Amino acid sequence: MRLMRAILGPPWHGPTASGGPRPGRRTDPAEHLGRLQGLHRVLTGKESCLANVPMVGPVRRQLMADQATTPSRVQKPTRPRRKWLWVAGAMVIVLALAGAVFMLLRPQTPVATTRTFTLPVTKTTEQVTVNLTGTLAPQNQANLSFASAGTVTSVSAVVGSTVSAGQVLATIDDTQLRNAVTLAQANVTAARTSYSTVASTSGVTRAQLSNAQAQIDSAVAKLSSAKTSLSQARLTTPIAGTVASVNLTVGSQVGSGSSGGASAAGVLGSSGSAAASAQIVVISPTSWLVNGTVGPADVASLKPGQPVAATVTGTTVTTTGKVNTVGIVATTSSGSTTFPVTILLDGNPAGLYDGVGVTAVVTTGTDPDVLSVPTAAISNTGGTPTVQKMVNGSPITTEVQLGKVYGDRTQVASGVAEGDLVQVTVRVAAGQRPSGGGSSGVNFPGMGGQGQGQRPNNGGAPPAGAPAGGGG
């Protein structure tokens, strides 16, 4: 009450009957209204209670003491804060539900299991193959360079452009070369005049005539050389194809050297140094070669004309071809001896580019009536190859003598007969259905399932007791 009275002041009762102010009472209604508004601001917390106390002395001191000893009111949380708490709680619930759904629906890691199959011993005709790797190169390639020295005056060749046989690709300054032709022509004329003079002289000897003729022959030879040098001031391509590289600029100086020419069967096309030193390289991307190598164990079984299946490394591009050449001069590098082999591919399929890698399988022959078992059926028992042969419905460990390896099958020379059944145990993922070739439809790990008789590549070893390689 003291606070309210301090703020509002004395009550207002209006003027007396005579119109004058009442003693001890306020007569200004505007002032009374202002004090009421101040009380409202104090009660709503918008203004300090002491701001509207006009008096001093005991009342003000008492009010200040009361305010100092009264604990401040704790502000209640506002509605926006409660809203954010609801949002945070909802997010926690959503994340928990998402985690539970993920744990229920995530794919389970398959557990490898062991499965056993029974397969027959069969006689089949097996293909004998040789694997090799190499790089693609165009069959025809021209490595071109100026044979005469001079300053380059024009270059019309652009990498990637198509050119025709005989087209001029670049020129050099031929002023000196033309002067040389003119001088050589004059020397030929002089030599012939000298010969006529000597021949018309009485008493001329045979030796004098021979000497005069020799001078004519020499002058004619020099004229021919001068004309050749002049023709070499223009660099032309002997083959039609695509410009693969240009190492010339107008104004540059070139030295005399061999112009090179078109390569056949990859003789120059396989030489990286020849192409690198050439001023312009033109290739004919209409026919392709594979330049590869084989080891000493395989070179004897390769012959020109044998069929080839080739695959571009890292792609699904496949094509066929034939063995073109088999080298007889070995190259040794890092202790490994190899022989060069070229393969001519059929047609011009899309996706072939100069220098890319190729894997080739050469069929060198066939072996008829090969008694074989699945390679996965062979085990090594005490250093001896064995199989689990079914006898009266039970597997019996049986020693076998092995022959050649044909990919997913291995030849057996003794121990089993055609029609016998052998057990094959493989590891497969839980729920996975074995698939592939063979009478059982099983695609065993490490095998192609087609029995193509392909040699093990990269030094792959056959089962114990089997000779390496599948060729004869």
**Residue 201 pLDDT level (bands cut at 50, 70, 90):** confident
- Helix axes 206-231 and 175-200, enclosed angle (nearest 10): 160
Residue-level pLDDT at 272: 55
- Greatest mean pLDDT among 11-15, 342-346, 349-353 lies in 342-346
User: Does the pLDDT at position 230 exceed 60?
Assistant: yes
Phi (first) and psi of residue 370, to 5 degrees: -90, 120
Residue-level pLDDT at 113: 77
Kindly tell me the burial class for residue 390, based on how many C-beta atoms sit within 10 Å of its own C-beta (0-12, 13-18, 19 or more). middle
Average pLDDT, the chain: 77
Residues 193-217: what's their mean pLDDT?
Answer: 91
Sign of CA pseudo-dihedral 118, 121, 127, 132? positive
Asked if 322 and 306 count as a contact pair (C-beta separation under 8 A), the reply is yes
Percent of the chain clearing pLDDT 90 (strictly above): 43
Fold of 139-283: OB fold (Dihydrolipoamide Acetyltransferase, E2P) (2.40.50)
User: Does the pLDDT at position 67 exceed 70?
Assistant: no
Distance, in Å, from the CA atom of 344 to the CA atom of 265, rounded to the nearest integer, reads 8
Q: CB within 8 A of 294, min separation 6: which ones?
A: 130, 132, 302, 338, 339, 341
Residue-level pLDDT at 281: 93
- Domain boundaries along the sequence of the chain: 2-68, 139-283
Asked if 377 and 445 count as a contact pair (C-beta separation under 8 A), the reply is no
Higher local confidence (pLDDT), 314 or 272: 314
Cβ–Cβ contacts within 10 Å for residue 350, how many?
Answer: 5
Residue-level pLDDT at 304: 95
- Write out the two tokens for 280: 């312009």
Higher local confidence (pLDDT), 297 or 106: 297
Query: Helices marked H in 76-130 — which ranges?
Result: 79-105
At 364-420, the pLDDT tens digits run 998 999 999 989 899 988 889 999 999 998 999 999 999 988 878 899 999 999 999
Residue-level pLDDT at 183: 95
Distance, in Å, from the CA atom of 216 to the CA atom of 272, rounded to the nearest integer, reads 44
Kindly tell me the burial class for residue 395, based on how many C-beta atoms sit within 10 Å of its own C-beta (0-12, 13-18, 19 or more). middle
Q: CB within 8 A of 196, min separation 6: which ones?
A: none
- Write out the two tokens for 247: 């190492």
Query: Residue 359 belongs to what H/E stretch?
Result: strand 357-374
Which residues are registered as beta bridge partners of 387?
Answer: 398
